[in-house]
């Protein structure tokens, strides 16, 4: 089973200023997260961010935050407990405007949510054994197809990070790398954006 770009959403979890310096191989992790976000933008994949207790732990890096459609502040470790599922699977409008799409003026036509109908969620973030793990397991429970991008994840210790990967794999979550994601999103060297995406990893 390959990752379908048209069914994908990317969630970047808690890459915050005050957390990053303590992470094992933290800079490499952030670099890969940025590659994912840049490729997602090129390929029209929705990107969401989360921030754990931002008043105490700071924000996502400005360049990363700018690539997110929305950033969710939270205090629960699982982002699903504080609104992530509603972002990833928006409810249909309770009362759509009357008339058909062609008869409505443009300012009354509601654009489709970037997340509408997308059930594949790629997760990357910190800490792998806390917020990322709990979010991933909750998403799986809510019947999303969950993929964790391992080289864009970290914890304070390598042992905790690897224990998270073991548990995620045991739960049936797919573990992938940044390059796996990018090339599966592209599918072919003939993709019109192949060179742009390839440039992110050269």
> Is 23 part of any domain?
yes
| Residue 64 included in any domain | yes
Considering the chain, what percentage of its residues have pLDDT values greater than 70?
88
> Which structure tokens are listed for 124?
């990357």
Q: Is residue 169 part of a domain?
A: yes
Kindly state the tokens that stand for 59: 């924000």
The label of the residue with tokens 């806390």 reads 130
Instruction: Tell me which DSSP letter residue 121 carries.
Output: E
Q: Is 153 within 8 Å of 132 (Cβ atoms)?
A: yes
- Computed over its alpha carbons, how large is the radius of gyration of the chain? 17
Of the CA atoms within 13 Å of residue 136, those in its CB half-sphere come to: 32
Paired tokens of 63: 């360049």
124-172 tens-digit pLDDT: 999 999 999 999 999 999 999 999 999 999 999 999 999 999 999 999 9
Domain membership flag for residue 95: no
Print the domain residue range for 26.
5-88+122-196
Query: Would 97 be classed as within a structural domain?
Result: no
All residues at 6 or more sequence positions from 95 whose CB lies less than 8 Å from its CB, including other chains: none
CA-based nearest residue to 182, from 191, 169, 170: 191
Count structural domains, the chain.
1
CATH code where residue 176 lies: 3.40.50.850
Does the structure show a pLDDT above 80 at 55? yes
The overall pTM is greater than 0.75: yes
Q: Please indicate, yes or no, if residue 104 is contained in any of the structural domains.
A: no
| Cα 15 from Cα 37, distance rounded (Å) | 13
| In-domain check, residue 112 | no
Say how far apart CA 22 and CA 26 lie, in whole Å. Answer: 7
**Which phi and psi (to 5°) does residue 2 adopt?**
-105, 160
The Cβ-side half-sphere exposure at 134, using a 13 Å CA radius, reads 16
| CB-based contact 123:148 (threshold 8 Å) | yes
Contact yes or no for 169/128 (Cβ under 8 A): no
In a domain, residue 116? The reply is no
User: What is the tens place of the pLDDT at every residue in 68-100?
Assistant: 999 999 999 999 999 999 999 987 533 444 445
């Amino acid at each position: 089973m390959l990752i379908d770009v048209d069914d994908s959403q990317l969630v970047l979890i808690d890459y915050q200023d005050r957390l990053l310096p303590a992470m094992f191989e933290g800079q490499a992790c952030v670099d890969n997260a940025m590659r994912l976000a840049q490729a997602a933008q090129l390929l029209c994949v929705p990107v969401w961010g989360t921030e754990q207790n931002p008043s105490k732990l700071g924000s996502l890096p400005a360049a990363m935050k700018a690539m997110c459609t929305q950033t969710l502040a939270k205090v629960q470790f699982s982002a699903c407990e504080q609104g992530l599922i509603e972002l990833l699977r928006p409810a249909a409008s309770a009362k759509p405007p009357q008339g058909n799409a062609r008869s409505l003026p443009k300012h009354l036509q509601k654009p489709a949510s970037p997340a509408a109908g997308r059930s594949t969620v790629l997760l990357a973030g910190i800490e792998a054994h806390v917020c990322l793990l709990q979010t991933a397991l909750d998403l799986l429970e809510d019947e999303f197809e969950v993929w964790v991008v391992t080289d864009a994840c970290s914890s304070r210790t390598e042992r905790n990070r690897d224990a998270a990967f073991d548990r995620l794999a045991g739960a049936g979550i797919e573990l992938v790398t940044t390059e796996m994601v990018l090339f599966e999103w592209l599918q072919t060297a003939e993709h019109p954006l192949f060179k742009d995406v390839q440039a992110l990893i050269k």
